[in-house]
Amino acid sequence: MVVRLDPPPNVLQMDETGTIRVAGTRIMLDILIGAYKRGDTPQEIAEGFPDLGLAVIYWVIAYYLDHQAELEAYLTEREKKAEKLRQYFESDPRNKELRAKLIARRDARQSGS
């Protein structure tokens, strides 16, 4: 019997914005690794992303574990950028008014349920 060993497929790609995604999808590395770090099993992650398949989930986790230092730096930088954006949008008075309206609408729906 001959067993052919192929290198892993090119599962992850960096897009033009510098975001690492699962190739051919809009699913970001941040999301999958975030779920893994929260304690979700690969099977649980696959349930949330059934189009990816379990093998892809395992490959992404294995890649993360093999490149943890550099990917943690990438993820930390993305978190910093996201926090800056959140602060920017929350500081805009128009967004504060919209947020207040949305919260009031949500609360009204919840109290009416």
pLDDT at 1 over 80: no
CA distances, 21 to each of 52, 87, 110 (Å): 12, 25, 36
Q: Which amino acid is at 85?
A: L
pLDDT digits (tens, 9 = 90+) for 57-79: 999 999 999 999 999 999 999 99
pTM: 0.74
CATH of domain 1-66: 1.10.10
Domain limits, the chain = 1-66
Decide if pLDDT at 38 tops 80: yes
| Tokens read off for 19 | 């975001």
With vertex at residue 40, the alpha carbon angle to CA 32 and CA 33, rounded to the nearest 5 degrees, is 25
* pLDDT greater than 70 at residue 5: no
With 90 as the cut, is the pLDDT of residue 7 above it?
no
What is the percent of the chain with per-residue pLDDT over 90, rounded to a whole number? 65
The overall average pLDDT reported for the chain is: 90
